[in-house]
Structure 1
């Protein structure tokens, strides 16, 4: 990085720097990995290790579109692939975007409307805060591995200053790139120190201390124009589901409704469901998915799935419209 003050970097430059450097500092993906491993440990205490490994294998295969064949391998998969699948999860994408705000003072969004951007920031903070509160960090002894809590502290601190509210000392330390002890030392000074209110630093004092620092990234989201970098964003994102895929690349889709509905399950244990959603839920509960589809002679044949694929609703409709359509990646 050049000798320029951080405050002199444009929102576009900050967005590029964020993507170039992501993963070098705080990274919620690392905590995400440990949470999944700890969840498996908890299940093994609740049930048995065999049952817990089977459950976690099914989870990563269905949820993360993994291809773990043996239940003893799910831990290796999570440890090896965490940086890849993290961004594909809803909470992972939110943590990624929240870090851009916390660290660089930008919002990875194409809108230039301040109210819309502010609402988006609040949404990100609330979503990750809820996830963090739900996770038994202390009970699972993940405190030293937790990078989500510090991310929230950083983001909430910036949001507090953006709204003229007092800031936590730890958050101010992140923004000023100093230790929390340095901030608390400044708070203890009677003259030329940082005034506090209920243990937090007054926003006016915090900004006065931060502004002259060359390594302070001030908030610029209120005046950003990032539509060229983020041209495609929609108020309502398309829903995705995991569906089973057979060896020949055919999938379970909404176009497979027969006279009695959707028929799924192994031979002699098949069940009919009125809706695609109900049938898909039943398939996801099976150790191996089976379903009926018509062949070229219009006969309803039983086929089995060999893996799962994450597809959008519009992609599913393409298969429903074209019964001969196949997923090439499965061939």
Structure 2
């Protein structure tokens, strides 16, 4: 029986990635096209023989004495991911983008080391893509490998760090068409919320948990091992927090000026500690608390809990970070208006 992507361990994901990595999903193929376009552009400026000599040196082992640089590049274009440094980086980033792993990870490396490397890969790819003259050099019907890889890597990094995610990346992760995603985030009763064009990480993550196409990230704890066993950490102590009608929770990210504001209007109290505030809410007949405005504008308002959610400490912390990042993003966006 074939395993679902979310059930695959580190070694299984690597095998799946390597077996399916070909020209149709290799972002280095776009690099080849960019180099071709750059060489053609230079040939318009300098002497053709000088451009040919320079390009043959630039493309490295792809060139041969009897070929001009275009012929050498065409003959070897599927090997760019192993020849050029950026091609190798994009190859490794693709494993992260699609499978949530760091293919460069070693057994002895700690989480911080892996995180730093992945962050560097994502930032390098994003900044490179921003500089690429794709429309001018490759046109609107260009191959999408590079842009797809960066979109998914950027989206996964957002989810992994509890930041808002682009709907296009969320649709790809969830295996749905963009037209369906637009329907899911629009209307009077959207399945997923969208603010300033982005979706909150905690809502996106909750939706993806039921999508068979999605590989949850395991890079924080998964490392290669000789017996193929992947070590993961679990949280067993549940916490019950009040949930409002719209699905929002009371969480540690709602601290404002050093306190949490709880209680109905006219009877509000300020509590410095989250655990104390949660205990007080649990004793209220109708738990109520203040939270930021949903759209990012206006003052904090009171919301009333209609049910209780069972959640782990790790999930609660992630939820709080997600809401905090979304609020900060919206506030910064409005400052630029």
The TM-score by the shorter chain falls in which range?
0.5 to 0.7
Q: Quote the offset at 1:142 in angstroms.
A: 4.3
> Is 2:129 the partner of 1:132?
yes
Aligned mate of 2:82, from 87, 92, 97: 87
Is 1:34–1:142's contact at 8 Å kept on the other side of the alignment?
Answer: no
Residues 232-277 of structure 1: per-residue CA shift (max 9 Å, x gap): xxxxxxxxxxxxxxxxxxxxxxxxxxxxxxxxxxxxxxxxxxxxxx
Change (3 A) 1:80 1:100: same
Q: Which runs of 5 or more structure 1 residues have no equivalent in the other structure?
A: 231-331
* Alignment partners' CA distance in 1, 2:92 and 2:225: 15
Aligned mate of 1:121, from 118, 123, 136: 118
Q: CA RMSD in A?
A: 2.2
* Alignment partners' CA distance in 2, 1:57 and 1:6: 42
Residues 110-161 of structure 1: per-residue CA shift (max 9 Å, x gap): 1542111111110111222232233322221344224212211100101111
What residue number does 1:274 align with?
Answer: none
Aligned mate of 2:162, from 152, 164, 189: 164
Change (3 A) 1:130 1:227: farther
Q: Quote the offset at 1:52 in angstroms.
A: 2.2
* Alignment partners' CA distance in 2, 1:191 and 1:216: 25
Change (3 A) 1:142 1:119: farther
Is 2:62–2:73's contact at 8 Å kept on the other side of the alignment?
Answer: no
- What aligned pairs does 1:145-294 form with structure 2 within 5 A after superposition? 145-228=143-226
What residue number does 1:20 align with?
Answer: 19
Q: Quote the offset at 1:43 in angstroms.
A: 0.6
* Alignment partners' CA distance in 1, 2:45 and 2:63: 26
Change (3 A) 1:31 1:195: same
* Alignment partners' CA distance in 1, 2:163 and 2:62: 45
Is 2:159–2:201's contact at 8 Å kept on the other side of the alignment?
Answer: yes
Aligned mate of 1:100, from 71, 95, 104: 95
What residue number does 1:75 align with?
Answer: 70
Change (3 A) 1:12 1:138: same
Change (3 A) 1:66 1:193: closer
Count of residues paired in the alignment: 225
* Alignment partners' CA distance in 2, 1:129 and 1:229: 36
Q: Which runs of 5 or more structure 2 residues have no equivalent in the other structure?
A: 229-337
Residues 267-305 of structure 1: per-residue CA shift (max 9 Å, x gap): xxxxxxxxxxxxxxxxxxxxxxxxxxxxxxxxxxxxxxx
What residue number does 2:28 align with?
Answer: 29
Residues 168-206 of structure 1: per-residue CA shift (max 9 Å, x gap): 011112211222222111111332511012101111221
* Alignment partners' CA distance in 1, 2:227 and 2:55: 37
Q: Quote the offset at 1:24 in angstroms.
A: 6.0
3-state SS in 2 of match to 1:17:
helix
What residue number does 1:45 align with?
Answer: 44
What residue number does 1:4 align with?
Answer: 3
Is 1:112–1:223's contact at 8 Å kept on the other side of the alignment?
Answer: no
